[in-house]
């Protein structure tokens, strides 16, 4: 029986000596009091539920904020994975120090500032560090030419770390630009994508400014790759050209 019904019953009993009118009046008064009490309890129950739900939402939000903060804090850290914790720590520290070298603080291709590990992308096989824009151009060359990895968004292992630690942008310049004309203009951050891509292709695919020995070694590699592809029956018989395109200035 609800409070409204119980109130009406009690009111009827209390006012019953006054006759039928008293019973009716008592029932109305008691029912009104019971109804008001029911509404008050329902209102308090709603407040309690709303409060509980808000507390739950706040706790959930706080947890998500904490997890997000931890994730964002970890993004700026270079981590090298290894089954040996000490080895992982050693290579992670070495890679972080490697990024602080002056030659590695600017993109190898357009000269954009690499102010944080999150700005930096590495070509594992070419051994150079580039910005995110030039990383996209490197990807367009194909992984056989440039295998691009982010310093923080991709997983690094010891072999990858060793490969890049042996190179760097100073070594990259000596390798791919020894015959770059001192009077020619290098690309910069304002160079349009088409001109920058032409420079990247000349530099890494056609080896336009590299030593002849490197070009010869690349031709041997390509010939071996072509031979393997022919044996596998999955190549069209054409080999990428090393002929130089004119550099757009």
Same domain flag for 15 and 84? no
CB 111 within 8 A of CB 188: yes
Same domain flag for 33 and 116? no
Tokens encoding 5: 């019904």
Strands 80-81 and 121-123 turn out to be unpaired
Mean of the per-residue pLDDT values of the chain: 80
Owning domain of residue 28: 3-74
CB 32 within 8 A of CB 5: no
Is the entire prediction scored with pTM above 0.85? no
pLDDT of the residue at 249:
38
Inter-CA distances, 188 with 101, 131, 192, Å: 20, 11, 9
Last residue of one domain, picked from the residues 41, 74, 107: 74
Same domain flag for 103 and 184? yes
Same domain flag for 26 and 101? no
203 occurs within a structural domain: yes
* pLDDT tens profile 192-220: 999 999 999 999 999 999 999 999 998 89
* pLDDT tens profile 148-199: 999 999 999 999 999 999 999 999 999 999 999 877 889 999 999 999 999 9
Give DSSP secondary structure letters for 136-188.
HHHHHH-TTT--EEETTTS-EEHHHHHHHHT--HHHHHHHH-TT--TTSPPP-
Same domain flag for 89 and 181? yes
Strands of the chain (E only): list them.
80-81, 121-123, 128-130, 148-150, 156-157
CB 122 within 8 A of CB 129: yes
CA angle at 203 for the pair 202 and 207, rounded to the nearest 5°: 80
Count up the domains in the chain and report the number.
2
pLDDT of the residue at 66:
57
* pLDDT tens profile 65-111: 655 444 544 557 889 999 999 999 999 999 999 999 999 999 999 99
């Amino acid at each position: 029986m609800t409070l409204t019904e119980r109130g009406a019953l009690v009111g009827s009993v209390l006012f019953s000596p006054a006759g039928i009118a008293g019973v009716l009046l008592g029932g109305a008064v008691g029912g009104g009091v019971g109804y008001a009490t029911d509404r008050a309890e329902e209102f308090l129950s709603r407040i309690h539920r709303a409060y509980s739900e808000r507390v739950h939402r706040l706790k959930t939000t706080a947890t998500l904020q904490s997890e997000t903060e931890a994730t964002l804090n970890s993004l700026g850290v270079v981590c090298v994975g290894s089954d040996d914790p000490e080895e992982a720590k050693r290579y992670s520290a070495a890679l972080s120090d490697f990024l602080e070298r002056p030659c590695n603080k600017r993109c190898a291709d357009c000269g954009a500032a690499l102010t944080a590990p999150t700005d930096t992308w590495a070509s594992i096989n070419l051994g150079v560090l580039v910005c995110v824009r030039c990383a996209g151009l490197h990807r367009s060359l194909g992984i056989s030419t440039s295998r691009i990895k982010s310093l923080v968004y991709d997983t690094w292992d010891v072999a990858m770390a060793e490969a890049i630690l042996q190179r760097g942008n100073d070594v990259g310049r000596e390798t791919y630009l020894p015959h770059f004309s001192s009077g020619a203009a290098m690309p910069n951050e304002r160079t349009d994508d088409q001109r920058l891509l032409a420079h990247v292709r000349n530099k890494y695919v056609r080896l336009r400014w590299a030593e002849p020995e490197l070009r010869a070694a690349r031709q041997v590699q390509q010939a071996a790759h072509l031979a393997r592809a022919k044996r596998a029956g999955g190549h069209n018989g054409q080999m990428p050209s090393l002929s130089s395109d004119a550099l757009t200035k």
